[in-house]
A and B are shown apart, each in its own frame.
Chain A
Amino acid sequence: MPLANMLSITSNTFLSMMIWIVLLLAALYFARKPFHRAVSSLSRIIHNAMRMTAASVRLAEKKLIQRNREVLMAAGRESAERLVEREFDRINAAVVRDLEGYPNLQRQLSELTTRLDEDYSRSADVPPDLPNWIPIIESIANIKHSGDSMVANMLGEINRTLTEQHKGSIDNYRGSNAARHSILNKMLPAWRKVQKTLNDVGKSIGNLNQRAKSIDRYMDEYEQIRQQTDKAARMLSSSSLTQFFISGLVLMIAFGGALINFNLIALPMSEMVGGASYIGPYKTSDVAGLVIILIELTMGLFLMESLRITRLFPIIGSMDDKMRLRMIWITFTLLAVLAGVESALAFMRDRIAQDMEALRQTLAGVEQAAVATSMIPTVGQMIMGFILPFALAFVAIPLESFVSSSRTVLGIFAAVALRLLAFILRLIGNLGYYTGRLVINLYDLIIFPSIWLEGVITGSKGKRQEPAKEPLFEDGGITEEAVENFNDTVEYKEPQE
């Protein structure tokens, strides 16, 4: 029996259709509440599950942020400690250097002071006075004589002697003054020397003051980091990001250098280890070239560690100075040997390339072009082969920065990713919730004649019987404002007047 016949209750199609619609509406009306509950439960499950997951993700994000902050602070504290330590080392060196010269300085100053004192004393020597009897003779010379020639001669003699005495005294005085001036003149370089020495002392003190100020500044920063202030966190975070990108850029440049280095030695390596053998999918000669470059990098890393420029391997940094010095020489020698090997390989590469080119020309039947005999390309390749290993040795510095900053940066990115995930989860939860609302509303819209009829019937029976309110979207532990609003929205639908 066809379906159309089954649906035809009466001979009139329209009537049959109307009966079916009424029956359907009635069925939907009676199924309304269970349907509402089912949809509301489903949407609530989605909503709550998503929000719970989001809350968990947010918690993880908070923990991650906290961990990042701790890592950042620890790194910052370590860096500040290194800076302060370095400043103290410098002060120590300055103090040792200055104090080492201090006895000498003191002796110099003492000698100079003694000399100056002596010179001063000597310059203070006054010329001897005229003899004491001069005034007596002077008074005798002033006696008026009565014309006695003998007296006159005597007095004349006294006068002459006196004049001579005066002249002698004046000469003596002048000589003495000249000697004092000469002594004072000789004192001038001594004074200058004293001034210079004191200036040096002043400079040293000033330098120490400057260092002390730097230490104060570092100590302030250290204090802020120790107290884990937000300012310190922001400062360290920004510094970490800058370091990450700059060191990443330098590492990329170094990678380019390593690539050029690899191309320089890969071909001649096939002459040494053979060009037909493979390790996995890679040519053995390529792997050998790569291994040489990696060994160079490792040697560079150890050299930088031994020089205490980087601190990737604390065990090397904490070695005693003698052992460290040995390590410096060993790594440097190995690096130099490898650089020499690379230089030789670069030379070989040039020869092989020339040979291959000659063979290609022979096979192509081309007359061999006159080969330029310039040694410049060969020498250039050899120099590059020698320099690049040493240049690559410095990769250790950006590598350390990159490694230390990547911890923080990756942490920041992971936190952002978690936040995004939490947002998406909340969004999905809310979407699920409001989709439930939408479905319920659409359901009610479809069966609106039944609801209208219910309103009419209940209205005619009187408004005494209030329908029992059964909140479909009651507020859960995790549901928030949106849920409450949704409850209000749903509840008003129950008693359709």
Chain B
Amino acid sequence: MKKTLAMALSFILILSISGCSDSKSRSKGVYMLLDTSGTYARELKKAQSILNYLLGVLQPGDTLAVARIDTGSFSEKDIVAKITFDERPSYANNQKRMFQQKVNSFISTVKSSQYTDISGGILQAIEYLNEQRSGQKYILIFSDLKQELAKGYKRDIPFQLQAFNVIALNVTKLRADNIDPKKYQSRVTKWRAEVESGGGSWSIINDLENLDQIFFN
């Protein structure tokens, strides 16, 4: 009898422990990079709808961060807003409202940057999401994927993207791409190769009607 009781208690204990430790591994961590360089800054209005979608689908316990891509993006200063939602749904709803306001005010006041440091942004995203210990990690790159580094900036570090999903959103075609589509293709292929060589998975969503594919994998 005592043995059975002990077994039952240990089972409950194991379940409780696994339950507590499980909460992080099941949570989602999303880091969204917003390209604010040059003409792409005009596209930022579209980023609002993506963000609203993310706020709608993310659950209590999930993490969301929005950062800008500018001349030097490997910096905490470029993080516009970040939050880990409270476990209580009502608190999480209020946090989402505040987050939305914060990002909206950023988008309405943002000034375009001269250079585009996408790699720095990705490195910052990797660091942030690893620190958050999210179970599923997503890096969303809202950009045309054309990287332009300022003089002296070095970004030849390989990405460590194991268990990361990198999704490029709204990858617009530049004028040069229209003239020579190979440029667009080579640009996308380059990023795909870099991500996949780092152990991450790569995908592109250009049609913003298909945002539900972000968490499809």
- Please report A residues at the B interface, Cβ cutoff 8 Å: 267, 270-271, 274-280, 284, 351-352, 355-356, 359-360, 362-365
CA distance A271 to B92 in the complex (A): 10
6 pairs of A and B residues whose beta carbons are closest in the complex: A276-B61, A274-B87, A279-B19, A275-B60, A278-B22, A363-B52
Residues of A within 8 A of B53 (CB): 363
State whether the Cβ of B55 lies closer than 8 Å to any Cβ in chain A.
yes
Report the count of interface residues on B (CB-CB < 8 A).
26
Please provide the chain B residues from 3 to 33 with a CB less than 8 Å away from any CB of chain A in the complex.
15-16, 18-20, 22-23, 26-27
Asked if A275 contacts B61 (CB within 8 A), the reply is: yes
Which one of B19, B52, B55 lies within 8 Å of A278 (CB-CB)? B19
Report the Cα distance A342→B165, complex, angstroms.
Answer: 41
B166 to chain A, nearest CB (A): 24
With A275-B59, A280-B15 in contact, do A363 and B87 touch (Cβ < 8 Å)?
no
- B158 interface residue (CB < 8 Å to A): no
B100 touches which one: A277, A356, A363 (CB < 8 A)? A363
Closest residue on chain B to residue A273 by CB atoms: B87
B90 within 8 A of A: yes
Could you tell me which residues of chain B, from 60 to 119, have a CB within 8 Å of some CB in chain A?
Answer: 60-62, 87-90, 92-93, 96-97, 100
List A contacts of B152 (CB < 8 A). Answer: none
Once bound together, how far apart are the Cα atoms of A231 and B217, in whole Å? 64
* Interchain residue pairs with CB less than 8 A apart (10): A270-B89, A271-B88, A274-B60, A274-B87, A275-B88, A277-B20, A277-B23, A277-B87, A351-B90, A362-B97
Indicate if the CB atoms of B89 and A363 lie closer than 8 Å.
Answer: no
Q: How far is the CB of A333 from chain B (nearest CB, A)?
A: 26
Cβ of B56 and Cβ of A275 under 8 Å apart?
no
How distant is B157 from chain A, measured CB to nearest CB, in Å? 33
Cβ contact of A355, chosen from B15, B87, B93, cutoff 8 A: B93
Within 8 A of A (CB), among B168-185: none
Q: Decide: A276 and B56 in contact? CB cutoff 8 A.
A: no
Among B18, B56, B60, the residue within 8 A (CB) of A360 is B56
Task: Establish whether residues A359 and B96, one from each chain, have CB atoms under 8 Å apart when the complex forms.
Answer: yes
Residue in B15, B52, B59, B96 whose CB lies within 8 Å of A276: B59
Which partner residue on chain A sits nearest B55 by CB separation? Answer: A363
Q: Who on chain A is nearest to B92 by CB?
A: A275
Residue of A276, A355, A356, A363 contacting most chain B CB atoms (<10 Å): A276
Residues in A neighbouring B52, C-beta threshold 8 A: 363-365
Give Cα A274–Cα B16 distance, bound, in whole angstroms: 14
| New A-B pairs, 4, CB < 8 Å, besides A356-B93, A359-B55 | A275-B61, A275-B92, A277-B20, A277-B23
Residues in chain A near residue B55, CB distance under 8 A: 359, 363
B18 contact set on A, CB distance < 8 A? 279-280
**How many angstroms between the C-alpha atoms of A277 and B86 in the bound complex?**
11
Give every chain A residue within 8 A of B60 (Cβ-Cβ): 270, 274-276
Instruction: Decide: A277 and B59 in contact? CB cutoff 8 A.
Output: no
Contacts A279-B16, A280-B19; is A267 near B89 (CB within 8 Å)?
A: yes
Contact B56 A271 (CB under 8 A): no
B87 contacts which of A275, A351, A364 (Cβ < 8 Å)?
Answer: A275
Instruction: Give the Cβ gap from B37 to chain A, nearest Cβ, in Å.
Output: 26
Max count, chain B CB within 10 A of own CB: residue among A278, A279, A351: A278
Q: Knowing A276-B61, A355-B93, A356-B89, say if A363 contacts B19 (CB, 8 Å).
A: no
Cα-based distance from A270 to B88 in the complex (angstroms): 6
Measured in the bound complex, the distance between the Cα atoms of B88 and A352 in whole Å is: 10
CA distance A274 to B90 in the complex (A): 11
A347 vs B100: C-alpha distance when bound (angstroms): 28
Complex: chain A residue closest to B22, CB-CB:
A278
**Inter-subunit contact A352/B87 (CB<8 Å):** no
* B15 and A279 form a contact (CB under 8 A): yes
